[in-house]
C-alpha cells in the first residue's frame, strides 16, 4: 500500500536539493533534509513507544515540525491526530480522552498556545527542536484501522467530538486531485497559512505540494502583511478563505502598498464559504486572476467539486465534481423545492468512518459508499453544483467550522443563562458571524463581559459569539423548541443597533 510518507521519499529521490518547506521563520528545508528529519523523528517517537495503529495527538500550528510529525507517525504505522493549538484545555481534554493517544506532541516553539498546553500536560523537551512530548496517562482506546493515516476531529451537530478517519489512500488521492486542479508543478510555491490541523490545509495544501515536489511557504498564523510580502516575494499558489482576501485588499488599500501586477501568483482560490458575485469581481480585479471556488468537507478529505473558470465569469457555483468523484442529490431531503436536495458523494475521497462511532458512521455512509454531506444543493445542466443551504446548522467562520450546539452548551453552563440559541449570519466578503441569543431572568443585569470571559474558558476564539443579545424570552414553538429561523427578524432592531452590547 502506498503511504503518505512515501510522497516525501519519492520527492527526496527525484529532487533532493529542491525546497520542500520554507518554515515560518524563513528557514528553507530541502526535500533531502525533510526526509532525513522524518526518519530521525520517527526514531525518537518509536523510542518513546509509538507503534503501529497508536495515536499521536499533535497540538500544533503550522511549522516544519508539524509536517515532520505527521509523516513520521505514518512511517511507524501510527495515526496522527492533529488539533489546533488554539483550542481550550477543556476542548483538548475531550479529544484526548476520545482518541486515547500513546503520545502527545506540542509545537511549543511557534505557538504560545501549544506551549501552554504542553506545560499543563507536563510535557518535556526532546531532541526534536521546538517540540515537547508527553505520554498519555488516560484510559486506552481501541487501535485504529491499519489503513488510517490521520484522524481529524469535528465537533458535530451534537456537540460531541467526532474523529474523521482519513486513510493514506484518501490523502494521496486528495493531494493529487488538488494539484491537478491547480495545474501545480515542482516549480510552484504554495502559500501555507491554512492550518494543517484542518482538512483544507492538510490535504489541499500539504499533500498537494508534496505530491508534485513543490514548495510550501508556511505561516503559523495569518496576517495580511505577511501574505502581501509572500506574494511579492514569489508565492505562486494561494488557497485561502474569503476573509483572508478581504483583509489583504484592505491592507494594501490602507497602506498605499504596491499591488500584485508584478507578482508571480498564478492561482488563487477561495473556499470554505459561498462567493458573492460582486465581491468575486472585486477580488479578481485586485489579483488580475480568476478567483476559483470549490466545495468539500472533512469527511470528504476536503475536495468534492472545483472550478476552472476564466476571469470575469459570473459563475459562483462550486463547479462540477472533481475527476474520480461522483455526486448526486437526494431530493427527498430538499424541503420540497424542485431540483434541490441533500448532496451525496462517493469515491476514493470519502472517509473510512468516524473513530469509535459506528452509529454515526452508519448514519452518514451508505452500504454503497455514498456520503451524506448534510448540505443542500442544486445541479445545473452542465453538472455544476451550487450549494444553497445546510441541513445542519454548521457555521463557517474564518475558514473554521463552528457548530451551534457546542457554543450553546458552553453558554448554557453559565448560572445566569436559562437557555440560548446560536446561529450564523453572512457577512460581506463571504465570512459568517456567530450570533448568540441568550434568555435570562433580567437582561439588564446580565454581565455580558463576564459571560464572554466564561465562554473564553470553554471555546476557541473562532467559536465565540461576535454578538450576544440578551432577552427575557426567545421565540419558541408551543413545545418550547426555540424557532431559530425567527431570531434575526425577531431581534432585528437590536441587531441593527450598534450600541447593543456585542463586544
Model confidence over 47-80: pLDDT tens digits? Answer: 999 999 999 999 999 999 999 999 999 999 999 9
Q: ∠ at Cα 238 (237, 244), nearest 5°?
A: 170
Among 349, 57, 414, residue whose Cα is nearest residue 174:
349
User: Does some domain include residue 255?
Assistant: no
pLDDT at 259: 83
Among 259, 258, 306, residue whose Cα is nearest residue 283:
259
Q: What is the percentage of the chain residues whose pLDDT exceeds 90?
A: 67
Among 492, 501, 432, 439, residue whose Cα is nearest residue 467:
501
pLDDT at 158: 47
In the DSSP assignment, the letter for residue 191 is: E
Of 68-82, 111-125, 127-141, 170-184, the least confident: 127-141
Of 14-23, 164-173, 489-498, the least confident: 489-498
For residues 32 and 428, which has the higher predicted lDDT (pLDDT)? 32
- The 3-state DSSP class for residue 249 equals helix
For cell 506532541, the residue is 105
In the DSSP assignment, the letter for residue 310 is: P
Averaged pLDDT for residues 238-266: 86
Give the whole-angstrom CA distance, residue 419 versus residue 437. 9
Averaged pLDDT for residues 467-490: 80
User: Does some domain include residue 88?
Assistant: yes
DSSP per-residue letters across 435-496:
EEEEE-S-GGG--HHHHHHHHHTTS-GGGS-SEEEEES---B-TTS-B-GGGHHHHTHHHHH
Give the whole-angstrom CA distance, residue 202 versus residue 204. 6
pLDDT at 182 exceeding the cut of 60: yes
User: Does some domain include residue 142?
Assistant: yes
pLDDT at 183: 97
Averaged pLDDT for residues 254-281: 83
Joined together, the cell numbers standing for residue 205 give 495544501
- The 3-state DSSP class for residue 103 equals strand
Among 98, 131, 100, residue whose Cα is nearest residue 114:
131
Give the whole-angstrom CA distance, residue 60 versus residue 117. 10
Among 65, 69, 64, residue whose Cα is nearest residue 81:
69
pLDDT at 502: 43
- Residue 482 phi/psi, 5-degree rounding, is -65, 130
Look at residues 169, 196, 226 and tell me which one is the last residue of a structural domain.
169
pLDDT band at 478 (very low <50, low <70, confident <90, very high): very low
pLDDT tens, residue by residue, 345-401: 999 999 999 999 999 999 999 999 999 998 888 999 999 998 876 666 778 888 887
Q: What is the percentage of the chain residues whose pLDDT exceeds 70?
A: 94
User: Does some domain include residue 145?
Assistant: yes
Q: Kindly report the length of the chain.
A: 503
pLDDT at 481: 62
Distance of alpha carbon 145 from the chain centroid: 23
User: Does some domain include residue 264?
Assistant: no
**Domains: count for the chain:** 2
Look at residues 150, 169, 188 and tell me which one is the last residue of a structural domain.
169
Q: Mention every residue, 6+ apart, whose C-beta is less than 8 A from residue 132.
A: 105, 106, 108, 115, 118, 123, 124, 125, 126
pLDDT band at 155 (very low <50, low <70, confident <90, very high): low
User: Does some domain include residue 408?
Assistant: yes
The order of strands in the sheet holding 162-167 is 124-125, 132-135, 103-106, 55-60, 79-84, 148-154, 162-167, 353-355
118-122, 438-442, 474-478 — most confident range: 118-122
Q: Are 482 and 469 in contact (CB under 8 A)?
A: no
Q: Which domain holds residue 22?
A: 4-169
The order of strands in the sheet holding 341-346 is 326-330, 341-346, 371-379, 385-390
pLDDT at 217 exceeding the cut of 90: yes
Look at residues 169, 199, 225 and tell me which one is the last residue of a structural domain.
169
0.85 exceeded by the pTM?
A: no
- Residue 468 phi/psi, 5-degree rounding, is -125, 120
Joined together, the cell numbers standing for residue 146 give 491499519
Question: 59 vs 87, 247, 358, CA distance in Å?
Answer: 9, 27, 26
Give the whole-angstrom CA distance, residue 474 versus residue 419. 9
In the DSSP assignment, the letter for residue 51 is: -
User: Does some domain include residue 358?
Assistant: no
Among 206, 228, 165, residue whose Cα is nearest residue 364:
165
pLDDT at 384: 95
Q: Are 312 and 289 in contact (CB under 8 A)?
A: no
Q: Are 260 and 285 in contact (CB under 8 A)?
A: no
- H-helix or E-strand spanning residue 36: helix 31-47
pLDDT at 270 exceeding the cut of 90: no
Task: Supply the CATH number for residue 100's domain.
Answer: 3.40.50.980
User: Does some domain include residue 421?
Assistant: yes
Among 466, 358, 317, residue whose Cα is nearest residue 402:
466
Averaged pLDDT for residues 438-448: 88
pLDDT tens, residue by residue, 303-355: 999 999 999 998 889 999 999 999 999 988 766 667 888 999 999 999 999 99
Task: Supply the CATH number for residue 414's domain.
Answer: 3.30.300.30
Average pLDDT over all residues of the chain: 90
Q: Are 267 and 237 in contact (CB under 8 A)?
A: yes
Give the whole-angstrom CA distance, residue 72 versus residue 191. 23
Amino acid at each position: 500500500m502506498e503511504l503518505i510518507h512515501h510522497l516525501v521519499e519519492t520527492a527526496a529521490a527525484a529532487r533532493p536539493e529542491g525546497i520542500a518547506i520554507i518554515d515560518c521563520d524563513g528557514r528553507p528545508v530541502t526535500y533531502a533534509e525533510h526526509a532525513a528529519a522524518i526518519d530521525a523523528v520517527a526514531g525518537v517517537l518509536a523510542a518513546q513507544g509509538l507503534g503501529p495503529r497508536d495515536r499521536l495527538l499533535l497540538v500544533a500550528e503550522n511549522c516544519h515540525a508539524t509536517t515532520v510529525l505527521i509523516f513520521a507517525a505514518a512511517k511507524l504505522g501510527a495515526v496522527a491526530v492533529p488539533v489546533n493549538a488554539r483550542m481550550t484545555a477543556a476542548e483538548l481534554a475531550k479529544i484526548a480522552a476520545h482518541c486515547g493517544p500513546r503520545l502527545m506532541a506540542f509545537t511549543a516553539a511557534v505557538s504560545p498556545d501549544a506551549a501552554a498546553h504542553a506545560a499543563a500536560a507536563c510535557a518535556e523537551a526532546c531532541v526534536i527542536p521546538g517540540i515537547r512530548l508527553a505520554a498519555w496517562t488516560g484510559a486506552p482506546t481501541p487501535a485504529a484501522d491499519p489503513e488510517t493515516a490521520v484522524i481529524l476531529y469535528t465537533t458535530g451537530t451534537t456537540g460531541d467530538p467526532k474523529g474523521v478517519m482519513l486513510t493514506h489512500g484518501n490523502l494521496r488521492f486528495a493531494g493529487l486531485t488538488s494539484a491537478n486542479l491547480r495545474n501545480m508543478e515542482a516549480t510552484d510555491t504554495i502559500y501555507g497559512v491554512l492550518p494543517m490541523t484542518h482538512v483544507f490545509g492538510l490535504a489541499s495544501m500539504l499533500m498537494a505540494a508534496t505530491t508534485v515536489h513543490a514548495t510550501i511557504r508556511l505561516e503559523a498564523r495569518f496576517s495580511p502583511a505577511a501574505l502581501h510580502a509572500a506574494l511579492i516575494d514569489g508565492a505562486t499558489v494561494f488557497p485561502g478563505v474569503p476573509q483572508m482576501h478581504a483583509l489583504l485588499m484592505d491592507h494594501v488599500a490602507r497602506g498605499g502598498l504596491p499591488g500584485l501586477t508584478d507578482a508571480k501568483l498564478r492561482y488563487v482560490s477561495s473556499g470554505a464559504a459561498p462567493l458573492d458575485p460582486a465581491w468575486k469581481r472585486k477580488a479578481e480585479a485586485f489579483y488580475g486572476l480568476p478567483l476559483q471556488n470549490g466545495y468539500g468537507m472533512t469527511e470528504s478529505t476536503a475536495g468534492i467539486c472545483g472550478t476552472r473558470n476564466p476571469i470575469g465569469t459570473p459563475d459562483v457555483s462550486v463547479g462540477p465534481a472533481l475527476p474520480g468523484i461522483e455526486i448526486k442529490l437526494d431530493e427527498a431531503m430538499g424541503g420540497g423545492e424542485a431540483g434541490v436536495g441533500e448532496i451525496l458523494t462517493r469515491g476514493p475521497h470519502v472517509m473510512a468512518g468516524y473513530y469509535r462511532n459506528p452509529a454515526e458512521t452508519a448514519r452518514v455512509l451508505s452500504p454503497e459508499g455514498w456520503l451524506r454531506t448534510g448540505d443542500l444543493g442544486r445541479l445545473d445542466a452542465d453538472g455544476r453544483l451550487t450549494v444553497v443551504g445546510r441541513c445542519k446548522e454548521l457555521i463557517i467562520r474564518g475558514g473554521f467550522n463552528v457548530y451551534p450546539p457546542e457554543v450553546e452548551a458552553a453558554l448554557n453552563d453559565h448560572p445566569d443563562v436559562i437557555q440560548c440559541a446560536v446561529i450564523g449570519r453572512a457577512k460581506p466578503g463571504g465570512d459568517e458571524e456567530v450570533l448568540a441569543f441568550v434568555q435570562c431572568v433580567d437582561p439588564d443585569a446580565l454581565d455580558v463581559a463576564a459571560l464572554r470571559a466564561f465562554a473564553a474558558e470553554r471555546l476557541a476564539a473562532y467559536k465565540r459569539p461576535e454578538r450576544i443579545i440578551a432577552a427575557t424570552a426567545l421565540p419558541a414553538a408551543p413545545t418550547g423548541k426555540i424557532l431559530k429561523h425567527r431570531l434575526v427578524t425577531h431581534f432585528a432592531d437590536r441587531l441593527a443597533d450598534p450600541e447593543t452590547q456585542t463586544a
